[in-house]
C-alpha cells in the first residue's frame, strides 16, 4: 500500500511507480478523502443537516452524479492552512440528471473551513458554471458557507466577482436555482440574488450582508440570525426567497419540481407531458359560473379560478408568502408548462402595490426568458394609494410590470374576471401592451374607476342640487351609479372596441385558454435590435 499523509497526499520521495502502484495510489487517495468526509458527516448530521454530497444525491436521479475536481486542494500557506489541505476544498461539484434531464450542480461543504470560499473553492464553482453555460443545462447551487475565507485574503475574495460575472452571463440563458441550506453571508449572498429562484429551509437557512454582531456594534440594533435573515424573513418581508421549505427534503423536492417546468436553456422549449383535456365544458368547469359574488366588495379566492384552468388543478406557487395580493406560479395546460399571474381579491382586495408589481414583473420576465407562456387573471381595483407608496417609488417600480409585459414575446393570454380599473387594468396584460388573446367574463368591469367613485366626481353638482332641494341624495346616488354601471362599468364597451377578443362564460375559461394556447404555440415575435432595454430598476 502506498503511504499517504492525513490529507491523502503522497509524501515527497514516495511517488508510486508502475500502473498497479499508481492505481493503488488513486485508491488510497480516494479512501483518505472518504474517511475524512465520513468524520465530517457525523458532525453535520449532529446539526440536523445533510452533508454536501447527500444533498446532491437527494437532488439528482439515483446513480447519475458525476463528480468533478474531487481531489483538488487549496494552495494557501497563510495562517497554517498548508497543514490542512482537504481534498475538494469544501465544495462538491459535478453534473447528473433530474428526471432524466441533465443539470450541473455544486454544493458547499460546511464541515470544511465552514464552507468558506477560497481561491480554489471559487475556481471549482466557476468551472462547473462554465460547463453549465457551455452545454446549455440548468445550474443548481447549494449554499452552506460563511462567506469569504479570511485566511486567503484577496485571492479568495476575487472569486466572488468571477462567480457573479458568470451568474450574469448565464442569466436568461440557462435556469439558475439557489438552494440555501445553511448560512450565506457577506458577499456570498449576491450570487443567489442573481439567480432565477432562491429556496430556503425554515430554521436552517440564513442570508445577510452584515451579521447580528456587526449590526449591534455599529447601529445598536439587537437582532438575531433568524429575524435578520432567516427563511421566514426573506419569504414574507424582503421577498428575497421564492419558497420557504419546511426542511431540507422539502426544499430539494421543490427544486426538482421547479426544473420540471423549465427548459434546459433559452433555445429549447420546456418539457411537456401527455395530458388529454376535453374542449367541451365539464361539470367541474361549471363551478366557475358561481364563483364571483354579486357584491363587488366581497372577495373570492382567485387560486380556485386558476386551479380550474390548470391540468389536475396543480399550481406550483412562487413566493406564496410575499405580496399575497398577487399570485404567481407554474402549472400545465394540456401538458404544456405555463406561468400564471393573478390578482388575489382575498388580500388587499387585489390592489397592486410596489411589492406585488415587482413580484409579478420579475416572474413575467422569467417566463419570457425561458419560453413559458403567461396566463394573466385580472381582478384589480387599482394601485394602492398613499404617501408610503408614492414616496417609496411606486411610479418607477410599478413601471417594471408594464415593461415586463410589453417586452415579452411568449404567448400571452389574459382573462378579466371582475374589476379592471384605471392604470392597473393597463399593466395587467392588456391588449394594448401586447397580449395575444384577451378574454372577459360578463362580470368584468373595465373602466377608469368604479361606478361609485365616478359618480361622486361626475355628478357632484347633481347630487348637491338634490341635497339643497331636500331630496333623497342616497336614492339619487344609487340611480346614477346604476346608470353609470350600465353604460360604462362592464365588458361590453371594451368588446365593442376590440380591446377584449371575446366575452365568455366563466365555465368556458379552461377550454378557451386551451384553444388559444394551441394556436400560440407557433407564435413568432421579435423586438427591435438593441444592446438591451433600460428597465426602470
User: Strands, E, within 408-460: which ranges?
Assistant: 412-421, 437-440, 445-447
447: which 3 cell numbers?
373602466
Q: Which residue has the cell 480554489?
A: 120
Catalytic residue among 96, 118, 186, 398: 186
Catalytic residue among 239, 423, 434, 453: 423
Distance between first and last Cα of the chain = 62
**Contacts (Cβ under 8 Å, ≥6 apart) of 403:** 361, 533, 535, 536
Q: Is 315 helix (H, G, I), strand (E, B) or coil?
A: coil
How far apart are alpha carbons 104 and 269 in whole angstroms? 19
| Other beta carbons less than 10 A from residue 203's beta carbon | 14
* Catalytic residue list contains 423: yes
How far apart are alpha carbons 220 and 186 in whole angstroms? 19
Catalytic residue among 132, 356, 424, 494: 424
Write the burial class of residue 396 (CB in 10 Å: 0-12 exposed, 13-18 middle, 19+ buried).
exposed
How far apart are alpha carbons 260 and 274 in whole angstroms? 14
Q: Is 434 helix (H, G, I), strand (E, B) or coil?
A: coil
How far apart are alpha carbons 499 and 178 in whole angstroms? 40
* Catalytic residue list contains 350: no
Catalytic residue among 187, 434, 452, 453: 187
How far apart are alpha carbons 317 and 319 in whole angstroms? 7
How far apart are alpha carbons 483 and 267 in whole angstroms? 52
Q: Kindly report the three-state secondary structure assignment for every residue of 258-287.
A: HHCCCCCCCCCCCCCCCCCCCCCCCHHHHH
- Do the beta carbons of residue 138 and residue 259 sit within 8 Å? yes
| Other beta carbons less than 10 A from residue 531's beta carbon | 5
How far apart are alpha carbons 245 and 243 in whole angstroms? 6
**Contacts (Cβ under 8 Å, ≥6 apart) of 96:** 56, 60, 61, 64, 65, 66, 102, 103, 105
How far apart are alpha carbons 205 and 230 in whole angstroms? 6
The catalytic site residues sit at 186-187, 423-424
Amino acid at each position: 500500500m502506498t503511504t499517504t499523509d492525513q490529507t491523502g497526499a503522497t509524501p515527497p520521495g514516495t511517488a508510486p511507480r508502475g500502473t498497479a502502484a499508481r492505481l493503488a495510489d488513486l485508491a488510497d487517495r480516494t479512501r483518505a478523502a472518504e474517511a475524512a468526509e465520513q468524520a465530517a458527516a457525523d458532525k453535520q448530521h449532529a446539526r440536523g443537516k445533510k452533508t454536501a454530497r447527500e444533498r446532491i444525491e437527494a437532488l439528482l436521479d439515483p446513480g447519475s452524479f458525476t463528480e468533478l475536481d474531487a481531489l483538488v486542494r487549496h494552495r494557501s500557506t497563510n495562517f497554517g492552512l498548508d497543514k490542512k489541505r482537504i481534498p475538494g476544498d469544501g465544495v462538491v461539484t459535478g453534473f447528473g440528471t433530474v428526471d432524466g434531464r441533465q443539470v450541473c450542480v455544486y454544493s458547499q461543504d460546511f464541515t470544511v473551513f465552514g464552507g468558506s470560499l477560497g481561491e480554489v473553492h471559487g475556481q471549482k464553482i466557476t468551472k462547473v458554471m462554465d460547463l453549465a453555460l457551455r452545454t446549455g443545462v440548468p445550474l443548481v447551487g447549494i449554499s452552506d458557507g460563511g462567506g469569504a475565507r479570511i485566511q486567503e485574503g484577496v485571492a479568495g475574495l476575487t472569486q466572488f466577482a468571477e462567480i457573479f460575472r458568470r451568474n450574469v452571463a448565464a442569466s436568461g440563458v440557462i435556469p439558475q436555482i439557489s438552494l440555501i441550506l445553511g448560512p450565506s453571508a457577506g458577499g456570498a449572498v449576491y450570487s443567489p440574488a442573481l439567480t432565477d429562484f432562491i429556496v430556503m429551509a425554515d430554521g436552517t437557512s440564513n442570508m445577510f450582508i452584515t451579521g447580528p454582531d456587526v449590526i449591534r456594534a455599529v447601529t445598536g440594533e439587537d437582532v438575531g440570525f433568524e429575524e435578520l435573515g432567516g427563511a421566514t424573513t426573506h419569504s414574507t418581508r424582503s421577498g428575497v426567497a421564492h419558497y420557504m421549505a419546511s426542511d431540507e427534503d422539502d426544499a430539494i423536492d421543490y427544486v426538482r419540481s421547479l426544473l420540471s417546468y423549465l427548459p434546459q436553456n433559452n433555445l429549447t422549449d420546456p418539457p411537456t407531458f401527455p395530458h388529454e383535456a376535453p374542449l367541451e365544458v365539464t361539470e367541474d368547469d361549471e363551478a366557475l359560473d358561481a364563483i364571483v359574488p354579486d357584491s363587488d366588495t366581497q372577495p373570492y379566492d382567485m387560486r380556485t379560478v386558476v386551479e380550474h384552468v390548470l391540468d389536475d388543478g396543480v399550481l406550483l406557487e412562487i413566493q406564496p408568502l410575499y405580496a399575497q395580493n398577487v399570485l404567481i406560479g407554474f402549472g400545465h395546460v394540456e401538458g404544456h408548462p405555463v406561468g400564471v399571474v393573478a390578482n388575489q381579491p382575498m388580500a388587499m382586495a387585489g390592489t397592486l402595490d410596489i411589492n406585488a408589481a415587482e413580484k409579478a414583473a420579475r416572474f413575467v420576465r422569467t417566463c419570457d426568458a425561458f419560453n413559458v407562456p403567461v396566463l394573466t387573471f385580472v381582478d384589480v381595483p387599482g394601485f394602492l394609494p398613499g404617501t408610503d407608496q408614492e414616496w417609496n417609488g411606486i411610479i418607477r417600480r410599478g413601471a417594471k410590470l408594464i415593461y415586463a409585459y410589453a417586452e415579452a414575446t411568449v404567448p400571452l393570454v389574459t382573462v378579466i374576471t371582475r374589476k379592471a380599473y384605471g392604470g392597473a387594468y393597463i399593466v395587467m396584460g392588456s391588449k394594448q401592451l401586447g397580449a395575444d388573446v384577451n378574454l372577459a367574463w360578463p362580470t368584468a368591469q373595465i373602466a377608469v374607476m368604479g361606478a361609485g367613485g365616478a359618480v361622486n366626481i361626475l355628478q357632484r353638482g347633481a347630487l348637491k342640487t338634490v341635497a339643497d332641494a331636500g331630496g333623497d341624495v342616497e336614492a339619487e346616488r344609487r340611480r346614477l351609479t346604476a346608470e353609470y354601471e350600465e353604460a360604462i362599468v362592464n365588458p361590453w364597451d371594451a368588446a365593442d372596441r376590440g380591446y377584449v377578443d371575446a366575452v365568455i362564460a366563466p365555465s368556458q375559461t379552461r377550454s378557451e385558454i386551451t384553444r388559444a394556447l394551441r394556436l400560440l404555440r407557433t407564435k413568432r415575435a421579435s423586438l427591435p435590435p438593441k444592446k438591451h432595454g433600460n428597465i426602470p430598476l
